Amino acid sequence: LVRDPQGKPQPFVATKSDCQMDMEAWWDAVSNLPYLNAPIIMDYEEIPRTATMKVQRLELERRLMKENK
């Protein structure tokens, strides 16, 4: 999760290359959580990572802000 330009939680999801996101299952799974934006679906390889494979959330947030200017 990162913040969107309005400060709301923005999830990012990576699926297997041969699978599609089941949005109905997603919304069922998060229905009891606080508000979340619709997930942004990315290829696993597109998600920025550190040398130790941690997701670079600040980089994702920066990209999201840049796209929404």
Strands (E), 1-69: 2-3, 9-10, 12-14, 40-42
pLDDT in tens, 29-62: 999 999 999 999 998 889 999 999 999 999 999 9
Three-state SS at 28: helix
pLDDT of residue 39: 96
- Give the separation between CA 38 and CA 56, rounded to whole angstroms: 20
Task: Assess contact for 55 and 61: CB atoms under 8 A.
Answer: no
0.85 exceeded by pTM: no
In percent, the amount of the chain with pLDDT more than 70 equals 100
How far from chain centre, in Å, is Cα 6?
Answer: 15
Count of residues for the chain? 69
Residue 69 clears pLDDT 80, i.e. is over it: no
Q: Could you tell me the pLDDT band of residue 64, with boundaries at 50, 70 and 90? A: very high
